[in-house]
Amino acid sequence: MKFLRDKIDQIKKPFEKGQKFEKFAPAINALDTFLYVPNHTTKHGAHIRDAVDLKRTMITVVLALVPALLFGIYNAGYQHFIQLNEGVLPPFMDIFLHGLWKVLPMIIVSYAVGLGIEFAFAIFRGHEVNEGYLVSGLLIPMVMPVDLPLWMLAISVAFAVVIGKEAFGGTGMNIFNPALLARAFAFFAYPTFMSGDKIWVSEASTTDAISGETILGALANGKELPAQWDFWNSFIGLIPGSIGETSVLAILIGAFILIATGVGSWKIMVSGVVGAALTAMMFNAVGLTALMNFDWTNHLVVGGFAFGIVFMATDPVSAAQTDKGKIIYGLLIGFFSIMIRVFNPAYPEGVMLAILLMNTLAPTIDYFVVNGNIAKRKKRLAKSKQLKSA
């Protein structure tokens, strides 16, 4: 492998300090460090370091997303054929390829636009490219409807990265989860492409008389739910919805990976589910409207709730950062998700708004948790002063 290393070093020559393309070093470094962990050694502090770095952490999240992504691709094809083909399904590979044909361009556009902006900012600001977008870039297409025009996707990505992230100072500084921000932007900027009954099935808008709406959309409009949308179908995920959100099963595999590796906070996930379940149970008990009566177990498997709580709420930058704070943060996301679903039929998908709302509140939650520690310290000081004067 020495040959490859030598070649790369040769290519990197013009990018070194004092050379012609010095400014573009972050771009070439970003590519190089994907092949090799650099030969940097410790200069200060501890002489040895853990194997983990941000790249590894982010790639672990991408790995966790893969099951939901693969299922989403299949489901995109499945919904297309089952709705447009009068229920006759072609072979598995055809279904998958149709989905891939739809989803792959979205992923490519998302990465191309997002990473393009990230690279540009890194070069402009003279810092290395942060790996955060590896995750955001995959999350964004996964929370969009499959029929969203690519240019809208591109604009949403640009908005999320520039306004949502770089404007705050880049990775680690953003207040909102960039992927959710992209979705929220699309949701409010292009509402006709983000909700309704035509958009969730690929190429549905070309045909009349299909019912391609989501379960929550149908409930909000007071329609009867078709029989095939029961708990288990929702759990497996062969229902209309955003690309990655439908299969709770695939999301649970991702959740398992995140929790097992410690990359995603189990505290947020568990408290989020508990918060949502309790709130839904409460509404079940009241039971005044169709949405209130929607069984709490079903609440957990429909819509983007599972996807949001596993992959969006656990984004460490925009979530609460203290251990206690994470539990409160999760509980409130669960609570608000169901509240919004039940009381605001204009936005049947509550989890997105709930997480964005809690993103703004996360620093406040942490503030109170940290203040508890500060108060304890002050009390101790006062006590010791008292002892001294006594």
- Cα distance between residue 388 and residue 390, in whole Å: 5
What DSSP state is assigned to residue 163? I
Sign of the dihedral defined by the CA atoms of residues 235, 241, 242, 243, in that order: positive
Q: Which of 7, 13, 125, 376 binds another protein (CB under 8 A)?
A: 376
Structure tokens at 219: 């409930």
Residue 86 region by backbone torsions, left for phi larger than 0, else alpha for psi between -120 and 50, else beta: left
Site string for another protein, 308-347 (x = CB under 8 A): --------xx-x-xxx--x---------------------
For residues 264 and 310, the answer to whether their CB atoms sit within 8 Å is yes
39 lies in the site for another protein, by CB under 8 A: yes
CB nearer to another protein: pick between 17 and 377: 377
374 lies in the site for another protein, by CB under 8 A: yes
291 lies in the site for another protein, by CB under 8 A: no
Place of tokens 């640009």: 158
35 lies in the site for another protein, by CB under 8 A: yes
Structure tokens at 345: 């039929």
Q: Which of 10, 17, 18, 51 binds another protein (CB under 8 A)?
A: 51
Q: Minimal distance in Å, beta carbon 12 to another protein?
A: 12
Distances (CA, A) of 145 to 8, 213, 323, 334, 361: 40, 11, 34, 23, 28
Site string for another protein, 227-266 (x = CB under 8 A): ---------------------------------xxxx-x-
Structure tokens at 130: 């942060």
Q: Minimal distance in Å, beta carbon 267 to another protein?
A: 8
Size of the residue set binding another protein (CB under 8 A):
59
CB atoms within 10 A of CB 206: 10
Sign of the dihedral defined by the CA atoms of residues 96, 99, 105, 109, in that order: negative
Q: Which of 27, 60, 78, 81 binds another protein (CB under 8 A)?
A: 60
Q: Rule CB under 8 A: which residues touch another protein?
A: 1, 5, 33-42, 44-57, 59-60, 63, 128, 130-132, 170-173, 260-263, 265, 316-317, 319, 321-323, 326, 366, 370, 373-374, 376-378, 380-381, 384
